[in-house]
A and B are shown apart, each in its own frame.
Chain A
Amino acid sequence: MLKVRDLDAFYGPSQALFGMELAIEAGQVVTLMGRNGMGKTTTVHTIMGLMPARRGTVEFEGARVDGLPAFRIARLGLGLVPEGRQIFPNLSVRENLVAASANRTARPNPWTIARVFEFFPRLAERQRNMGNQLSGGEQQMLAIGRALMTNPKLLILDEATEGLAPLIRQEIWSCLARLKSEGQAILVIDKNVSALIPLADRHHIVEKGRVVWAGSSQALAGDKDLQHRYLGV
């Protein structure tokens, strides 16, 4: 579905990605893990066309997407839940969802406002509140709901549980598990190894702009030394 090959990216003169590699198959949940500043968000931004790739390729469903304008990449079916949530503060909860709604990939049984409200009942209660009147957890639900409204083939979550209370985190993780059971492909960036191991099929550990380890949940769970070395757990 998504194939990232040998990707280099720069912030001005300083290189942030050094030959990043990543692959996701349909229906899979895949993770990018690593400490802060290792290039996880940069990888996502480069995939989404929000920053340019200096070298390497990004393929989505067999077609090159690197170099396309960001809105075109999004329209192909990549939905990003960005770091820091980035809700539109001047739109209501409902308006945040309506603004994003689209089914450009003609998915059967598409996400609608009603389905998002069913998935996150809290959002239905808060639908007339403005985006800046929500708690962190509610904002995160809205950010996920907003991305789902674009009916993405691949959902990308960048630090979706950061700064949330443990109970709310748990709720987000169980939401992702439900999405996975419906066949949604997901790329998750997070640091929460214990929650990701049961959820994901495959993991990538990122260190200084490249993948230093990739493998299954089983392999990651069994290698405490690896977890300690790169993830500090």
Chain B
Amino acid sequence: MMAALRTPRGIATALILLVLAALPLLTQAFDQRYLLSIGTRIIIWSIAAVSLNMILGYGGMVSFGHAMFFGIGGYAVGILSAHGVSSGWIQWPVALLAATAWAALIGLLSLRTRGLYFIMITLAFAQLVYYVGSGLEAYGGDDGLNISRSRFPGLIDLRDKASFYWLCFALLCASLWFCSRYANSRFGLVIRGAKSNELRMTALGFPVFRYRLAAFTIAGALGGLSGILLANEGAYISPAMMSWMKSGDLIVIIVLGGMGTLFGPLYGTIAFFVLEEALPPVLNLVHKGWGEYWMIVFGPLLVLIALYARGGIDSLLGRRHD
């Protein structure tokens, strides 16, 4: 632990976590409330990215539909809220259960395919969920629905931005801890080994399909948690939160941060949001009106990362020894 703090990676990670832990205090001191809401979204997206990394990064299962779990978690909360069930003690377990069950079901079907077929079938399921969401006229259809935040009476008030932020941050820390246990457990070793050689893992006596299904289900549950948080962050649900572009963004984040590394999803999310927020004003400074075209800079940057920094941001922090 102490030794890890002496490497560039350890120092950078510790600094990031410190700044994130203190963010509500910092934004209050500098009177930048707007930054706290970006910070909250970064944390929530990081949890989603950690969950996708568990299957994509460690397991080579390239799911191109992970944002559907934003939708499942978010809509479960939103629909219950619309019917007057506002207690988080009911909403959250129901949402988690829904995400878990859905992940198990589509995992059962999609994990029978490999490679491009797996990408396409996960995308297809995500589109299915998306169109069901936009077809739910009672819950706002395409326009989405304003909801009230989950209530945990006597415990925490999610309307308080700082409290909500710290809850998300605590859940992110828990997700990272869980992911590190997962990656280094025997279960995780089977998932990681099967990524490079599925047949070999089978010949060693492991039913790879079942292991992958379990991992996919766990990742879906954690993705559902990020959906619950995302719905509460904006007090709003809409099909847009689970569009295929959001699934693409999650993949971009993981590639950017470093696939199959513990903190890669966190680095990637921060880089993604910072670039998204900072590039437009910077470009506007160069020439008024250029800010709108920030993707022109962002796209080639991703290409450069893919070409020259295969391990993403994580690899720029030095060689790994673990």
Indicate which residue in A50, A75, A95, A146 contacts B199 across the interface (CB closer than 8 Å): A50
Q: CA A75 – CA B196 in complex, angstroms?
A: 21
90-140 of chain A: CB within 8 A of chain B = 90-91, 95-96, 98-102, 104, 128
Contact mask for chain B residues 81-96; partner A; CB cutoff 8 A; 1 contact, 0 none:
0000000000000000
B205 touches A71 (CB 8 A): yes
Q: How many residues of B contact A (CB 8 A)?
A: 20
Indicate which residue in A71, A82, A86, A99 contacts B186 across the interface (CB closer than 8 Å): A99
B204 touches A100 (CB 8 A): yes
- A88 at interface by CB-CB < 8 Å: yes
Q: CA A184 – CA B202 in complex, angstroms?
A: 22
A91 touches B205 (CB 8 A): no
Q: A88-B197, A90-B196 are in contact. Are A98 and B189 (CB under 8 A)?
A: yes
Q: CA A50 – CA B208 in complex, angstroms?
A: 14
B199 touches A99 (CB 8 A): no
- B161 at interface by CB-CB < 8 Å: no
Q: In the complex, how many angstroms separate the beta carbon of A185 from the nearest chain B beta carbon? A: 17
Indicate which residue in B189, B190, B203 contacts A82 across the interface (CB closer than 8 Å): B203
Q: CA A190 – CA B193 in complex, angstroms?
A: 27
Q: CA A98 – CA B188 in complex, angstroms?
A: 11
Indicate which residue in B190, B200, B208 contacts A86 across the interface (CB closer than 8 Å): B200
Q: A71-B207, A128-B321 are in contact. Are A91 and B193 (CB under 8 A)?
A: yes
283-322 of chain B: CB within 8 A of chain A = 321
B186 touches A88 (CB 8 A): no
Contact mask for chain A residues 136-164; partner B; CB cutoff 8 A; 1 contact, 0 none:
00000000001100100000000000000
B-chain residues with CB within 8 Å of residue A98 when the two chains form the complex: 186, 189
Q: In the complex, how many angstroms separate the beta carbon of A202 from the nearest chain B beta carbon? A: 24
A99 touches B205 (CB 8 A): no
- A80 at interface by CB-CB < 8 Å: yes
A50 touches B203 (CB 8 A): yes
Q: CA A101 – CA B204 in complex, angstroms?
A: 9
Which residue on chain B has the smallest CB distance to residue A128?
B321
B189 touches A74 (CB 8 A): no
Q: CA A101 – CA B190 in complex, angstroms?
A: 11
Indicate which residue in B192, B196, B204 contacts A150 across the interface (CB closer than 8 Å): B204
A71 touches B193 (CB 8 A): no
Which residue on chain A has the smallest CB distance to residue B193?
A88
Q: In the complex, how many angstroms separate the beta carbon of B53 from the nearest chain A beta carbon? A: 14
Which residue on chain A has the smallest CB distance to residue B206?
A71
Q: CA A100 – CA B206 in complex, angstroms?
A: 9
A-chain residues with CB within 8 Å of residue B9 when the two chains form the complex: none
Q: A50-B199, A90-B196 are in contact. Are A95 and B189 (CB under 8 A)?
A: yes
Q: In the complex, how many angstroms separate the beta carbon of A91 from the nearest chain B beta carbon? A: 6
A-chain residues with CB within 8 Å of residue B206 when the two chains form the complex: 71
Q: CA A146 – CA B206 in complex, angstroms?
A: 13
Q: In the complex, how many angstroms separate the beta carbon of B206 from the nearest chain A beta carbon? A: 6
A-chain residues with CB within 8 Å of residue B205 when the two chains form the complex: 71, 74-75, 102, 104, 150
- B246 at interface by CB-CB < 8 Å: no
- A48 at interface by CB-CB < 8 Å: yes
Q: A90-B192, A91-B189, A98-B189 are in contact. Are A74 and B197 (CB under 8 A)?
A: no
Which residue on chain B has the smallest CB distance to residue A79?
B204
Q: In the complex, how many angstroms separate the beta carbon of B300 from the nearest chain A beta carbon? A: 29
A-chain residues with CB within 8 Å of residue B204 when the two chains form the complex: 74, 79, 99-100, 146-147, 150
B202 touches A74 (CB 8 A): yes
Q: A98-B186, A128-B321 are in contact. Are A80 and B203 (CB under 8 A)?
A: yes
Indicate which residue in B196, B203, B260 contacts A48 across the interface (CB closer than 8 Å): B203
Q: Interface residues, chain A, CB within 8 Å of chain B?
A: 48, 50, 69-71, 74-75, 79-80, 82, 86, 88-91, 95-96, 98-102, 104, 128, 146-147, 150
- Sample of 4 more A-B contacts, CB < 8 Å, known A48-B203, A88-B193, A99-B204: A70-B199, A74-B203, A99-B190, A99-B201
Q: List 14 A-B contacts (CB under 8 A).
A: A71-B205, A74-B203, A74-B204, A88-B192, A88-B193, A90-B192, A90-B196, A90-B260, A91-B193, A95-B189, A96-B193, A99-B186, A99-B190, A102-B205
